[in-house]
């Protein structure tokens, strides 16, 4: 299925650099793409030039208000931060709770790569929990991106807007 990236020309990125001087990935905007029969999704052109050499890890996670599952895709630097937080409370290798938490996280994570055609493949083990069918919505979150079922994302954003409105100071 062809990309629906009519707004791709307007997406912008602020480069920044990593601690070793490489260009830091920056994911902005959202893009709807088809998912082919092998689970391949076209990577947005604006993002591709930023992550060509970057390792990416997809993590199945759950939205805070809707409970809908989606994929959080982390470049190496963000994955390192994520894992350091998981490790913080789980330093014991033999403690039952620590082991259970590590197993829980580890079985919801998988490395993904871009192929030569600018696509990445999400195996069924990642597509199923996020209920990805023939379309996926890639949502930029500045230093990572998310892969959503488009309808689930719309529901999550409605809930988030209500949450943000409730946090706004009264006039």
3-state helix, strand, coil in the chain (%, to 5): 35, 25, 40
Q: Which domain holds residue 146?
A: 22-167
| pLDDT surpassing 80 at residue 33 | yes
Number of domain units in the chain:
1
Does residue 9 sit within a domain? Answer: no
Does residue 132 sit within a domain? Answer: yes
Distance CA 136, CA 7 (A): 16
| pLDDT surpassing 50 at residue 16 | no
**pTM of the predicted structure, to 2 decimals:** 0.81
Mean pLDDT for the chain overall: 83
Which pLDDT does position 117 carry in this prediction?
87
**pLDDT > 70 in the chain, percent:** 80
Residue 128's CATH number? 3.40.1550.20
45-66 mean pLDDT: 83
Asked if residues 153 and 137 have their Cβ atoms less than 8 Å apart, the reply is yes
pLDDT digits (tens, 9 = 90+) for 113-170: 888 888 999 999 999 999 999 999 999 999 999 999 999 999 999 999 999 999 988 7
Does residue 3 sit within a domain? Answer: no
């Amino acid at each position: 299925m062809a990309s629906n990236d009519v707004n791709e020309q307007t997406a912008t990125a602020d480069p920044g650099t990593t601690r070793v001087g490489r260009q830091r990935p920056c994911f902005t905007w959202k893009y709807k793409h088809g998912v082919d029969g092998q689970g391949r999704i076209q990577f947005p052109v604006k993002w591709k030039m930023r992550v060509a050499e970057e390792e990416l890890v997809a993590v199945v996670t759950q939205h805070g208000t809707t409970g809908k599952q989606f994929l959080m895709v982390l470049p190496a630097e963000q994955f390192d931060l994520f894992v350091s937080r998981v490790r913080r409370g789980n330093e014991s290798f033999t403690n039952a709770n620590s082991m259970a938490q590590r197993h829980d996280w580890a079985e919801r994570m998988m490395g993904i790569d871009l192929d030569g055609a600018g696509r990445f493949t999400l195996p069924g083990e990642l597509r199923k929990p996020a209920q990805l069918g023939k379309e996926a919505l890639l949502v930029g979150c500045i230093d990572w991106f998310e892969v959503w079922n488009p309808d689930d994302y719309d529901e999550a954003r409605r809930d988030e807007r209500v949450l943000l409105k409730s946090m706004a100071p009264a006039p």
